[in-house]
Chain A
């Protein structure tokens, strides 16, 4: 049995290591965000130091960061809202009315994800330039809607499929029409998974980088672009500030982690 016990020890050790690696790098960054430059640029890493809020004050005080934050919220928020308003009904129709082309539509929606982002960004850059909409929030919202809409549809179809048919049948018997069933029965029942799908599409566009890099230069720059510019300053690298901006950028997605893990759980629960 000692082999088994040794195995258990090694296994748990590897798990601990993996857990450490998952969390520590970001925590270390967060810690560095509270350090003065001298405490970061040391030959030996420092765990104890006098914390400072200067880095965050500097980052939040910068016009470009504030503008990036607003842009990110407006662009991601609008694209997700449009994606949800149009995507949820579409997903429901695909889940409940499986006509012969429903499969093809689902594949088409999925295949949008096969497109390399750069292949979308290059032509869109030219299109938005010619329409005079380059580097505007509007063009970014429209572009991101492609991402959010496809993602919401793709993730919501299974969520609607998991709504028990009997419940919908019962509602029909009670005299509900098809639209009423969607709004009053299916939506509320599937809401938990649907919120997960919406949260996921938000994280996707909040984190999006390449398209924003090519479709904005100044006015519509999103937070990832601003943060990456800060991280590439080069000269007399303000390490503390960089760490603070990375932390700021990462907070919104991390806030959604509970919802996303809930979605993961419900996605795998019902299989037997």
Chain B
């Protein structure tokens, strides 16, 4: 069907149609199907309803979004971009923007992003993670830092104050863990991956003073890493079942179904936990910035323009128009109407009346507070995904108990890192 549409929509015909639309942007002479490789986001599926709007705006173009889960999306975008480059738009994130930008797989976004869509309206944190080497590469779809989310009712019943330090946090998790009642102390991520278990582990590593590299020399094989791993594994004893090989979905699922007392996760969790449609504990939760010294994992995902599939300037502009439209104020407001908290990125939307009505002033304050401890926890290098994924496998082995020697695992990663840097040169 799609290919038929692509064949039929000759450019001349399309020009005629777009000429009849006074509202269409001046650059809109797009046709065919814009192919997008993304991971599932409510904000993106919502776009399906407004296909006609984009067709009008672009002068006849359609879009097709293929979805993959986070780990597969990372792998497949990389595989596609490094080989044939079939996709016009890639979903990329803070962890692989360096790789995509330095390999020339994506184009500088602002060269093709129509001015009237106001890129600077995006939250400053999101804009920061979308920038690499002084240029902006993607328009954010989601992002944020970490928040500690807890069940007020369980903490009160146990007589525990919401913890502010990691020591108190660990003590509280232990006390709240009551598997016989179906309540687990916390939920972590065990599944391999630089964006999965490693992501949750890094706040400990950074919080304890760990560093990844000093120039080209790996320095992560340190006491901080050992202590971070020990603490992570200690907490994992109280983590809900299924999280040992699970990631964000499993951790969030366990919490929103009422099986977890307290956890530190990415900020969208709060929006989901507060939403009665998605959460069985929506009226019982409280939230605070992560206990010190944990840092928050600053992140951002968004859409970028592929270079291989968009051979000429016109098609890059069409891809840019799609990205601008998909992340526009209008579409963010639609997401807000649908209570898609995690899909919001624009300052103007956060400051809107509707947002305050839905989520109250507290959440805004908590987001601002956690912004202060949000940091770049990963190694900012095109080689990061490979290094992070390798550590993810070792960490998964430690979590599931097929490996017990933490220092040995770090030494192995150290050797791997040296080889990786040598190969990359």
Contacts and interface: CB of A to CB of B under 8 A. Distances in A.
Given A217-B86, A234-B69, A63 B79 contact: no
Contact of A67 (B2, B40, B247): B2
Given A217-B79, A218-B35, A236-B40, A135 B67 contact: no
A16 interface: no
B40 A64 contact: no
B80 A64 contact: no
Contact of A232 (B3, B66, B72): B72
Interface in A221-268: 229, 232-237
Contacts of A66: 1
Contacts of A219: 86
Contacts of B40: 233-236
A63 B72 CA distance: 20
Q: Is the interface of A mostly helix, strand, loop or mixed?
A: loop
A260 B3 CA distance: 35
B249 A235 contact: yes
Nearest to A214: B79
A140 to B, nearest CB: 13
Nearest to A218: B86
A53 interface: no
B72 A235 contact: no
Given A217-B76, A234-B40, A64 B66 contact: yes
A134 interface: yes
A217 B80 contact: yes
Interface string B52-96: 000000000000101111101000100110011011000000000
A229 B249 contact: no
A135 B64 contact: no
A237 B3 CA distance: 29
A66 B249 CA distance: 28
A129 B83 CA distance: 7
A135 B35 CA distance: 15
A145 B86 CA distance: 25
Nearest to A226: B66
Scoring B39, B41, B83, B84 by chain A CB atoms within 10 A of each residue's CB, the highest score goes to: B84
B69 A235 contact: yes
A216 to B, nearest CB: 9
B83 A134 contact: yes
Interface string B81-118: 00110110000000000000000000000000000000
A245 to B, nearest CB: 13
Given A233-B67, A234-B40, A234-B69, A217 B84 contact: yes
Nearest to B72: A232
Contact of B72 (A64, A125, A229): A229
B84 A134 contact: yes
Interface string B328-371: 00000000000000000000000000000000000000000000
Contact of A229 (B41, B66, B83): B66
A66 B40 CA distance: 19
A233 B3 CA distance: 25
B66 A233 contact: no
Contacts of B249: 234-237
Interface string A66-94: 11000000000000000000000000000
A235 B39 contact: yes
Contacts of B84: 129, 134-135, 217-218
B272 to A, nearest CB: 10
A233 B72 CA distance: 9
B142 to A, nearest CB: 11
7 A-B pairs closest in CB distance: A234-B69, A218-B86, A217-B80, A235-B40, A63-B2, A134-B84, A135-B84
Given A217-B86, A235-B41, 16 more contacts: A63-B1, A67-B2, A217-B79, A217-B80, A218-B35, A218-B37, A229-B66, A229-B72, A232-B68, A232-B72, A233-B67, A233-B69, A234-B40, A234-B70, A235-B69, A235-B249
Interface of A: 63-64, 66-67, 125, 129, 134-135, 217-219, 229, 232-237
5 contacts: A67-B2, A229-B66, A229-B67, A229-B68, A236-B40
